[in-house]
Amino acid sequence: MPQLPDLSGLGSILQFLVACFGAYLFALWIAMIVWTFRDARSRSRDIFTQVLSVALVLVFNLPGLLLYMILRPRETLAEKYERELAGEAMLQDIEERQVCPVCHHKISADFLVCPNCHTKLHKKCDHCGRVLNLKWNVCPYCGETQGTPVVGRITTPPPPPTARLPQRQPTTLPSPETPRAIPPPSAQPAEGQ
């Protein structure tokens, strides 16, 4: 007779273990759903895809998770963003690899003259000495205004206006001289009379 209570005790222990296992499986199921939701959200902004992924695991459990792992987007949004950034950086790098506008020799962004054909490519700031674009009239590094922009030197039509000014002055100058010249002839006849 004392063996019967022992059996019932074993039964309750088994029941407890089964309950524990069931709870463990339930927790695992919930964890899989949460993981799938997070993973789907990191891989797609599409709400329909996210809901479908969660529903797949919700309904089919572990096989559903395997299906999701097979069908999910290959890379996360963060990975995709990083890949795009790297691509952009590479493009920018290619763009920055300049060539001489005259001889197309490979040059660096901070070259002052082309080593091949000696074409002036950049200028130095008058104040801080940093390499500047020839067209810049102000240094973006120190804010100093560049007094002699090389572009202004190349296009130097200012001389003609200055040459015109002296021409006008002589034309105005003779006029006061001519009245002076007129009096003498008038004075000469006066002397002659």
Rule CB under 5 A: which residues touch Zn ion?
100, 102-103, 105, 114, 116-117, 119, 125, 127-128, 139, 141-142, 144
Q: Which is nearer to Zn ion, 32 or 132 (CB)?
A: 132
Q: Which is nearer to Zn ion, 31 or 103 (CB)?
A: 103
Q: Measure the CA–CA gap between 3 and 11, rounded to whole angstroms.
A: 13
Q: Which is nearer to Zn ion, 55 or 131 (CB)?
A: 131
Q: Hey, how many other C-beta atoms are within 10 angstroms of the C-beta on 7?
A: 9
Element (H, E) at 123: strand 122-124
Q: Which is nearer to Zn ion, 10 or 113 (CB)?
A: 113
CB of 96 to Zn ion, least distance (A): 17
Q: What are phi and psi for residue 87, nearest 5 degrees?
A: -65, -45
Q: Which is nearer to Zn ion, 33 or 100 (CB)?
A: 100
CB of 147 to Zn ion, least distance (A): 12
Buried b (16+ CB within 10 A) or exposed e, 125-161: beeeeeebeeeeeebeeeeeebeebeeeeeeeeeeee
CB of 130 to Zn ion, least distance (A): 5
CB of 155 to Zn ion, least distance (A): 21
Q: Measure the CA–CA gap between 54 and 150, rounded to whole angstroms.
A: 66
CB of 138 to Zn ion, least distance (A): 9
